[in-house]
Homo-oligomer: A and B are copies of this chain.
């Protein structure tokens, strides 16, 4: 399977580490060759017979640039690479953009799908802004567009619903889907400030580069829109989500809730109103006997409501980059198996 990376941040590095250290994962059976790596800030690399990922990781660590092998450097832009290179799957890992409504990632994905090339992406922008269009484009061109890691890291949330709930109709969901605000709220319960919490999350490499993506609820709004559209057939964007953030929460408020046996959580919800699907992101008080109350630090959880099962809740205790990377790899395995790639 020939892979083109667009975006080569922490998730791509972790995927590369897994590819290199294959012996640690005895059941992982995935032959991959990375034929291109294109980034916004570090330029691009291209090599038909496969880029040496170990060299790339070492060079990034040592010199914060892509490679020493100059002959592999490419002058293509990421979009040109998606349009012209010879690859089987685009792994789209650029950062979320609300302002640009999922661009430029959406265009990278669209370009690949138009060529009948499949896409695995952890980027929640395109799936939350353009899901219907991209899905139809994939179907029309015999390709797959998968994005398990776009919500709840690699925890199989989309796949749980599509692969394990056959015949059931999903009527609603609720969940804690943004680890960073959850971490900050936990920190404020101990008296810490919003600013300290943001700084700690950024130092841990978990917060979005732009703090307002988390703090003002844009990241969870994108996730809520993605779930509403994919799981419930909705047709909304992150801009349609009734959105709240945690900027107005003070340490006093967080501590007061704890004193009353409650906790403040930034909850995403999706629901149906006739044929319309809605979503919200709100700070809510959660009681001590609710599973959501136990989600601390960077943890996440989602509760799925359907017509043929009582609610199931998927809880992810302490996700990190491994989980996000694995979600993309699971998508790659699905693409390989569905399309009969080698």
| A interface, CB within 8 angstroms of B | 18, 24-30, 154-156, 159-160, 163-169, 289-291, 293-294, 296, 307-320, 322-323, 326, 329-330, 333-334, 337
Contacts and interface: CB of A to CB of B under 8 A. Distances in A.
Contact of A29 (B167, B291, B323, B330): B167
Given A164-B160, A294-B294, A296-B289, A169 B27 contact: yes
B312 A318 contact: no
B164 A159 contact: yes
Nearest to A168: B27
A25 B160 contact: no
A145 B134 CA distance: 37
A312 B167 contact: no
Contact of A165 (B30, B156, B322, B337): B156
Given A30-B167, A164-B159, A315-B315, A322 B309 contact: yes
A154 B164 CA distance: 10
A228 to B, nearest CB: 17
Contacts of A326: 167-168, 308-309
SS of A interface (majority): loop
10 contacts: A26-B169, A27-B167, A27-B169, A30-B167, A154-B309, A156-B160, A164-B164, A167-B330, A308-B329, A309-B322
A317 B317 CA distance: 18
A164 B323 CA distance: 13
A204 to B, nearest CB: 15
Q: Which of A163, A293, A310 has the most CB of B within 10 A?
A: A310
Contacts of A296: 289
Contacts of A330: 164-167
A112 to B, nearest CB: 22
Contacts of A166: 330, 333-334, 337
Contacts of A28: 167-168, 308
A312 B168 contact: no
B312 A316 contact: yes
B164 A308 contact: no
